[in-house]
Every structure is written in structure tokens, then in C-alpha cells.
Amino acid sequence: AEMDSMISETLQFARDEATTEIRRPTDIAALVQSLIDDMVEAGLPVKMEPAEPIVYDCRPDALKRAIRNLLDNAVKYGKAASVAIQTTPKTIEIIVDDEGPGIPEQEISRVFDPFYRLEESRSRETGGVGLGLAIAQSIVQAHSGELILSNRPTAGLRARIALPR
């Protein structure tokens, strides 16, 4: 019961953080590019396809945190990250692909559970505490969006954030 309470409070904190920040028009392409630039400067294997400016009314710090969590996972577990931004008439999509082994299909929905980790050694050197995806999902949902994970046909995992236009 105490653990469940702690988990709920942690996720509520992330939700509150994502909803208390003031929404403002933000260039999503520039926001993502700034994350990529920081990671490249740190020597991490990340890249982004060129994207036109896309202004979206969001909570930029919270959204940046969600995207950073996805990029960190892609680099840590999938060797490298490649980002693309696409638009549809109804959505703005931020797509993060990695080159790793993907996730077993039966585990995909479980990786959003707080403290759930695919890597079982529980070592901080080989994995996090299992909150990154739960927090990212919480932030995306606070923007009325959706975070979807899927295995890529060739290899690797795709994390797709779909934000409503």
C-alpha cells in the first residue's frame, strides 16, 4: 500500500508539473532540435531529420522532459536515436526510432507501468528505476496526446508522440 501510494504521488507530481506550467506557443521542431544539439554535444549518437517550424501551444518544459526520456531510452537501450517530426491534419507527431532489439510484444503495454523494467538486474548501471516511460506518458496525456510504442519491422523500437492540432 505504501509503495502504491509513493508511485501515485510520483506520477501525480509529473502530471502536476505538466499541467501547472503555463502553456505558450512553442516551435516543436526547435524544441526537439535543442535536445538533439545538447545530446550531440555530449557525444551521444542522436540525429534529427530536418523539420519545418511547427508552432504548438504547449507546456514546453514538460514536453521537453517527455521527449528527453524517450531519447535517453533510445540511446541507452537502442544504441542510437533518430528523430523525425511529421504532421497530419489532426496531429503533430514526434517519432523517436532506435536501433536496439525492440521490446517483446507482450511487454509493450507493461513498460508504461511505474518501476517496471525489462532489464532485470536492477543495476543502475544497466537501467533506470522504471519511471521514464510512465512520466513521459503522463506528460503527453496532460497535453491530450498519445504515446505509442511499436517494434520496427527491420529492428529497433519506435516511440511516437501524437499531439492533437
Mean pLDDT across 115-142? 66
Residue 122 pLDDT? 37
- Find which of 15-24, 30-39, 73-82, 122-131 is predicted with most confidence, using mean pLDDT: 30-39
Report d(CA 47, CA 29) in Å as an integer.
13
Mean pLDDT across 87-97? 97
Pick the closest to residue 60 from 96, 31, 98 (CA basis): 31
Report d(CA 112, CA 94) in Å as an integer.
18
Residue 121 pLDDT? 34
Mean per-residue pLDDT over the chain, rounded: 85
Mean pLDDT across 135-146? 92
If you write DSSP's letter for every residue of 80-129 in order, what string do you get? -EEEEEEE-SSEEEEEEEE-S----GGGTTGGGSTT--S-TT--TTT---
Q: Is the pLDDT of residue 47 over 90?
A: yes
Q: Above pLDDT 70, what percent of the chain?
A: 76
How crowded is the C-beta side of 107, counted as CA atoms within 13 Å? 12
Mean pLDDT across 65-77? 94
Contact (Cβ atoms closer than 8 angstroms) between residue 59 and residue 142:
yes
